Chains A and B, each alone.
Chain A
Amino acid sequence: MSETVTSQKLDERTSFKSFVKTHIFDLTAYAGLAVMLVLFLIFNSGPRLMYNFSAVVQAAAVYSILALGAVFIYSMGFMDVSLGQQVGVYVILMILIGNKIGGPGGVVVGFLVSLALALACGAINGAVSIFLGLPSIVTSLFLMFFFTGAQYLMMESTGENTIKLIQNVKPADRNTYTLMLIGIIILLAIIGNYFFNYTKLGKYTRAIGANKVAAKQSGISLVKWQVLGYMALGFCAAVASFVMLTRTGTAGKGTGSGYAMDIMICLILGGMPLKGGMKSKISCALVGAFTYTLLSNVLTTMGVPLNWVNFVKACIFLLIVLLTCRKPNGVLPR
């Protein structure tokens, strides 16, 4: 009897240990988010808590939406360095078209034009690298330079450093705005989760990231699904651009710059394997985006000295990367 109990306990301990070992990377990412949340709650109290909560949601919204789209291409082992410049151009387009046509209709048209452009860029990004046999980063570098130039020229044509959308797109009430953003994030998260876990798009992009050759030999069209993956990111880029526009109502020559790196950091903090593959998870997007936003927020509200901020961020980033970097699980021979 005692042997049975002991072996049962052994099995339970073993299965718990095995669960933790299998999911260590996700658990670490979640732990990072949990720590940030705890610190956030500790250093915010009273009416400031709700204010800061809405500030975090506003700051995290753009990152979350971009990261949700980026998961599809990161799961293929790719990245897109043109993301920030794309967002900048889309925001400028929405303002220019919105101001030209006027009224809410103008904004809608501006969004649709940006969406069409974003989807087209996604298709180019996905297809060109395969057809020309180039690493995906080369195509996205090309797009980065293209969009940097476009952003510059569009702003030059206005003769201003920043341009402003005349039509108001931000709800006057702060709480309404926060709820609107939460609603957009949740909606896109649900859609993203569906497509990533329950449709061919997510399954195939992960398979391509895990082993392109085996994926092809299992009947997956590399061109088609790479293109669709990038188009998913393009869709999210357009939506994120709109959300950014609601925040500031303005755009300039530098709007969006650096976002490609920010999204990579978000995904790494969320536990996303940079080489993609089967261990990619859509949850990495939200976990990482909120961890990243909360980290910056908490450092300021705590009053961390300015010259310590980058050092602290670097330490935390390094720690999370070391814990989540995927090492092979020992060698189990045939």
Chain B
Amino acid sequence: MKSTKKILALVLTLALVFALAAPTASAKARAVKIGVGLYQDSGAAVSGVKAYLASLEDTLNVKFAYTVLSTNDEALNVTKVQELIAAGCDGIIITMDGGTEAILQECADAGVYLGGYLCDFDTSFRTNYDKVFKNEFFVGTVADGGCGDELKRGYDFFDSVIEYNERTPDAPIRHVAMTTFPAFAFPYQQNFVAQFVEKVEEYNAANPDKAIEVDPFNEETDILMFRPMDSTYFTKHPGIDAIVSMCAGSFVYPTMVSAGVSDTMKLFASGYNDGDDAIFGSKGAYQQEIVCANESITYPLVLLLNKINGVEFPDQPAEAERKSCSTFIINSDEDLELFKNSVYLTFNGEDALFSPEDVLNLTAYGNPDATYAGLCEILDHMTIEDLK
């Protein structure tokens, strides 16, 4: 009896867990369903993009489904996309370029369209262009900043350091070191290093009295293998005023704290994490964070919706494209205040750069005068200035 009870308990519990977790059924007419494969399951970026997309649902008559992709398991990414297709998605937006050809095959078999977000699809672009970018089911992608060589993030870091020095002439930054993620995952971060050094050398030549020393890049300590930075970094780079982190600051800042330097040393980083506002600008170590607006997802979303509704822009390119996108470069207290009003942090769709009507007007079916050029233009207007 005990054993039968156990089985019954298992079945009931499972049913209850699922019932609690599952959404309730809706009596509305079937909306278009768009699946979104993100790179993480939680955090400000996830909450922000979900809030933005949720704000568009009613006006666009779209429902969104979410899943998390893998940075290194192509087969898992194929599985996740298959699950989204099986969940009834008409279009899918992914944030990884892993197993893309197989994913497109699945999409083609199911008649589902695919777009990219926060990813320049560099590997597919260089090595498998025909199978991906010429595939009729691929609508294109928007990068996290610039695409490939177009991304000049090293220059952004340089500009932020100079801006900081101009703001704080009494305690300027004169000595920096850098960090990056491994090249196999983020190949262009090494370019950022070269760009930064190039700009510093130019600056130093023109301003020898304000010269900035950049430590040579040390492969042992300066490449973070998706783990927090080791404290030996500070032994290799003694006497630095700031760290220029081409990778996410969350891998660097905790080590600064445990080494006891977070009050004196500055950090210029990419990305933004919950709680960073308390340690930013005049309040702490962070002096720069670079974030791509959640609203950049509008680019693949509009193209997907056009396809699903069977329409095209009159100036639609023959092949799918990968587009660069402007970014929020937050490098002052004022910038942070502006950024805090964005949907990225408020999780309120009303704070988005675009209203649901704006997005509908960008679509070919919602606005007969809408153009592809008009859609691409919005990507240049996702800077901190646009938040004013």
Contact of B123 with A161 in the complex, beta carbons under 8 Å: yes
Q: Which residue of B lies closest to A62 (CB)?
A: B75
For window 62-96 of B, CB contacts with A under 8 Å fall at 65-68, 70-75, 78-80, 82-88
Q: Which residue of B lies closest to A152 (CB)?
A: B184
A44 within 8 Å of B (CB atoms)? yes
B315 within 8 Å of A (CB atoms)? no
Category for how many chain B residues contact A: 35 or more
CB-contact partner of A249 in B11, B41, B101, B110, under 8 A: B101
Q: Which stretch (A183-191, A282-290, A309-317) binds chain B?
A: A309-317
Contact of A17 with B3 in the complex, beta carbons under 8 Å: yes
Contact of B78 with A24 in the complex, beta carbons under 8 Å: no
Contact of A302 with B21 in the complex, beta carbons under 8 Å: yes
Contact of A255 with B85 in the complex, beta carbons under 8 Å: no
Known A-B contacts A55-B83, A252-B74, A319-B13; the reply to A303 vs B99 at CB < 8 A is: no
B128 within 8 Å of A (CB atoms)? yes
- Write the nearest CB–CB distance from B113 to chain A, whole angstroms: 16
Contact of A300 with B83 in the complex, beta carbons under 8 Å: yes
Known A-B contacts A24-B3, A301-B86, A302-B21; the reply to A160 vs B127 at CB < 8 A is: yes
- Write the nearest CB–CB distance from A189 to chain B, whole angstroms: 21
List, in ascending order, chain A residues with CB within 8 A of B79's CB: 55, 58-59, 296
How many residues belonging to A are interface residues under a CB distance threshold of 8 Å? 60
List, in ascending order, chain A residues with CB within 8 A of B60's CB: none
Per the bound structure, the CA–CA distance linking A59 and B82 in Å amounts to 9
Contact of B22 with A296 in the complex, beta carbons under 8 Å: no
CB-contact partner of A304 in B10, B22, B98, under 8 A: B22
- Write the nearest CB–CB distance from A59 to chain B, whole angstroms: 4
Known A-B contacts A32-B10, A62-B75, A250-B99; the reply to A52 vs B82 at CB < 8 A is: yes
B282 within 8 Å of A (CB atoms)? no
Contact of B10 with A319 in the complex, beta carbons under 8 Å: yes
Q: Which residue of A lies closest to B38 (CB)?
A: A306
Per the bound structure, the CA–CA distance linking A302 and B22 in Å amounts to 6
Per the bound structure, the CA–CA distance linking A48 and B111 in Å amounts to 12
- Write the nearest CB–CB distance from A96 to chain B, whole angstroms: 15
CB-contact partner of B187 in A28, A35, A51, A161, under 8 A: A161
For window 1-50 of A, CB contacts with B under 8 Å fall at 17, 20-21, 24, 27-28, 31-32, 35, 39, 44, 48
List, in ascending order, chain A residues with CB within 8 A of B10's CB: 28, 31-32, 35, 319-320, 323
Known A-B contacts A253-B184, A304-B21, A323-B10; the reply to A248 vs B75 at CB < 8 A is: yes
Per the bound structure, the CA–CA distance linking A279 and B288 in Å amounts to 59
Q: Which residue of A lies closest to B40 (CB)?
A: A306
Per the bound structure, the CA–CA distance linking A55 and B84 in Å amounts to 10
Contact of A51 with B86 in the complex, beta carbons under 8 Å: yes
**Residue in A256, A296, A304 with the greatest tally of chain B CB atoms within 10 Å:** A304
Per the bound structure, the CA–CA distance linking A317 and B83 in Å amounts to 20
A102 within 8 Å of B (CB atoms)? no
B23 within 8 Å of A (CB atoms)? yes
Contact of A21 with B3 in the complex, beta carbons under 8 Å: yes
Per the bound structure, the CA–CA distance linking A254 and B67 in Å amounts to 20
Per the bound structure, the CA–CA distance linking A319 and B187 in Å amounts to 43
Contact of B102 with A248 in the complex, beta carbons under 8 Å: yes
List, in ascending order, chain A residues with CB within 8 A of B28's CB: none
Contact of B78 with A247 in the complex, beta carbons under 8 Å: yes
Per the bound structure, the CA–CA distance linking A144 and B42 in Å amounts to 30
A244 within 8 Å of B (CB atoms)? yes
A174 within 8 Å of B (CB atoms)? yes
B46 within 8 Å of A (CB atoms)? yes
B15 within 8 Å of A (CB atoms)? yes
Known A-B contacts A306-B41, A306-B68; the reply to A312 vs B21 at CB < 8 A is: yes
List, in ascending order, chain A residues with CB within 8 A of B82's CB: 51-52, 55, 58-59
Contact of B1 with A17 in the complex, beta carbons under 8 Å: yes
What are the interface flags for B168-187 relative to A under an 8 Å C-beta threshold, 1 for contact and 0 otherwise?
00000000000000001101
Residues of A in contact with B (beta carbons under 8 Å apart): 17, 20-21, 24, 27-28, 31-32, 35, 39, 44, 48, 51-52, 55, 58-59, 62, 152, 155-156, 160-162, 164, 174, 244, 247-258, 296-310, 312, 315-316, 319-320, 323
Residues of B in contact with A (beta carbons under 8 Å apart): 1, 3-4, 6-7, 10-11, 13-15, 17-18, 21-23, 38, 41-42, 46, 65-68, 70-75, 78-80, 82-88, 98-99, 101-102, 106, 109-110, 123, 127-128, 184-185, 187
- What are 18 A-B interface contacts by the 8 Å CB criterion? A24-B3, A28-B10, A35-B15, A51-B110, A55-B85, A55-B106, A248-B74, A249-B102, A250-B101, A300-B80, A300-B84, A302-B23, A303-B65, A304-B22, A305-B21, A312-B17, A312-B18, A319-B13
A17-B1, A35-B11, A253-B184 given; 10 more Cβ-contact pairs under 8 Å: A27-B3, A32-B10, A55-B86, A247-B75, A253-B72, A302-B21, A303-B65, A315-B17, A316-B14, A320-B10
